Amino acid sequence: MTSDVKLLDINNVAIGIERRKRETLVLVREANFDVNYGEMVGIVGESGSGKTMICRSIIGTLQRRGASVIGGEVLFEGLDLRTINEAKWKSLRGKVIGYVPQSALAGPNPVLTIEKQLAEALSQVDGEGSMKNRSKELLDLVKIRRVDTVMKQYPYQLSGGMRQRVMIACALASRPKLLIADEPTTGLDVTVQSQIMELLREIRRDLGTAIILISHDLALVDEVCDKIVVMHAGATVEVGPTSSMAKPRHPYTVALNSSRIDVAKPGGELITIKGNPPSVGQWNPGCRFAERCDYVQPDCLVGDHPALSGKKGDHQSACLHADKIGKI
Amino acid sequence: MSKRDVLMEVENVSVTFGSGSNSVEAVKNCSLTVHEGEPIGIVGESGSGKSTLARVMAGLQPPSAGEIRFRGDNVFKGNKSFQSGNRNQVQMVFQDPYGSLNPQLNGLSAVAEAVRFHAKVGKDEAEQKALELLERMGIGRLDALKQPRQLSGGQRQRVSVARALSASPSVLLADEPTSAIDQSAQAQLLKLFLGLLNDGLAIVLVSHDLGVIRYLTKRVYVMKDGVFVESGDTETVFNDPQEDYTKMLLASIPGELGKAARAKLKK
């Protein structure tokens, strides 16, 4: 755990997808954040802001969708993931970097019992003891009770929350250093959601796993994460420790905050964000949030998307007029 | 509130699926009243029977026992619902904005088709009315001409609401309208719902999200395993829940809302 090498460093990453006539559509540009060992980082943003794309770049599954990292660096323990081959990926993906996909209900293989499912994940990693005992250990780890019954069951016999626990168990089979959970509680009940969050917190505490939690629920991320990354139209617009993010320094985060219903008065005014996020390939010059921004100034509309201010690791904002926020 | 006319009455309704030893009683002996222009909430976990109850209220599913009345008229005669009209008066918005629109119809056609059905008007007039409805839901002409797949989840959900409104209903049943869309889209939709309430529409909001329920409704029913375990003024239920189940639900909400409930639970 050297202090200068981060577990993960996303450095000015751009992701594009190739279309016909060799035209490249840029999905993500100016993505910037890092993850320390054992840290829990939340990524928030509207649908289409590039959250999932960033994750795919970390587990190397962009190519399957015809997309690729076209700029910047994705550094995992100092290793540039852009340069490695498929063999190297196989030693990282699902081993050092675990992934819990978005849809818990579609996640587990429907024709495998939970035992076989776990055995498949465990067969990829070395370990001691019989497969069965190791599978049971994993289920214990994700707080599944009645382990013996569940081992014989098929995914369809389990509730959404249980299925998501099984998915997390599979991802933990290799005791990864980094676990990526892509909207792990979408479509699940609030009660199940709070149990899954509690589980992630315990995994982080007991195993020291760093976790990236992707969500569009700011209130949720606010509660469980050490650091928050806000994405808008493919760019990191604000990043900072959770404590200091209570005072947002980017108008988009301000707007997201004010659309939270948990802090709104019943029937009171909900401030919604103007318009829709700009479509991919239709980004205007200057700041991509400018069109929807209450603080927009003439200089926001020209040049490149503003870079994040300050130093990595501090509270950074990609707003040219961050000092004006809260003063209008 | 009490002076308002009674719009819908659900009396001792039960719904049983299957028969014999395999039967499941999804809704057990539930009663509730919806007044004109009133926002009420039904909250509970998956499998608690809240969607089934909503489907019964919309006339899509006959109850096994009990009665649903709309303005005093019994909704179900045998297995058939709304035989004496009023079908248009109760409209439903479904959970899944991806599955509830015809993928081959753009927003305008989807809504115009419903307008033509309900208002029996010509094509041009129907489109005009549809555009107005969509406009009211924040969908401009440009977006109205897009196919559902080109719209975001929030936009699709608003098209669904516009379609439901084309029948000029007096009650809107919304089954988890916000659970599949992101936070800012959710805020937008809730804002529109507030506007509809101001126009006198009654809304029955079915959700597991207590934040949404608290924001929009005045009265809430907490459902567990097919039974209403607690009901009352939303404000009161939130500030002073009586049932352990309600307390647990409240404590699960992330953020500020759940904090107070969690603190109380720990005591």
CA dihedral sign of residues B196, B198, B201, B203: positive
Chain A residue numbers with beta carbons less than 8 Å from the beta carbon of B234 are 266
Q: Are A74 and A10 in contact (CB under 8 A)?
A: yes
**What is the mean predicted confidence (pLDDT) over A127-136?**
85
Q: CB contact, 8 Å: A257 with chain B?
A: no
Which residues of chain A neighbour B156 with C-beta distances below 8 Å? none
Element (H, E) at B175: strand B171-175
Q: Indicate the pairing of strand B219-224 with strand B202-207.
A: unpaired
**In percent, how much of chain A has pLDDT > 90?**
35
Give the ranges where A142-250 is alpha helix by DSSP (H).
147-152, 160-172, 190-207, 218-224, 242-245
* Rounded Cα gap, residues A183 and A105, in angstroms: 12
The answer to whether the CB atoms of A259 and B186 lie below 8 A apart is yes
- A261, B212: Cβ pair inside 8 Å? yes
ipTM above 0.85, yes or no: no
Q: What is the mean pLDDT of the segment spanning A37-61? A: 90
Instruction: From chain A, pick out residues whose CB is under 8 angstroms from the CB of B208.
Output: 189-191
CA-to-CA separations, B177 to A15, A247, B212, in angstroms, rounded: 33, 31, 10
Nearest CB to A266; choose among B183, B185, B214: B214
Residues 64-83 of A with CB under 8 A from B: none
CA distance B171 to chain A (A): 18
The answer to whether residue B157 neighbours chain A at the CB level (below 8 Å) is no
Residue in A closest to B39 by C-alpha: A267
Contact yes or no for A222 and B255 at CB 8 A? yes
Residue contact B258–A262, C-beta within 8 A? yes
pLDDT at B15 over 60: yes
Give the residue from chain A lying closest to B138, CA to CA.
Answer: A275
How many residues belong to chain B? 267
Global pTM? Answer: 0.83
pLDDT for res B3: 60
By the 10 Å C-beta count (0-12 exposed, 13-18 middle, 19+ buried), A86 is classed as: exposed
E-assigned strand segments in chain A: 8-18, 24-35, 40-44, 67-76, 79-80, 97-100, 178-182, 210-215, 227-232, 235-241, 316-317
pLDDT at B16: 93
Q: Which of A48, A190, A271 sits opposite B253 (nearest CB)?
A: A190
Q: In sequence order, what are the beta bridge partners of B215?
A: none
For residue A328, what pLDDT is reported? 54
Q: Residue range B30-59: average pLDDT?
A: 92
Residues of A in contact with B209 (CB under 8 A): 190
pLDDT at B187 over 90: no
- Average pLDDT of the residues of chain B: 89
The pair of structure tokens assigned to B146 is 């897009």
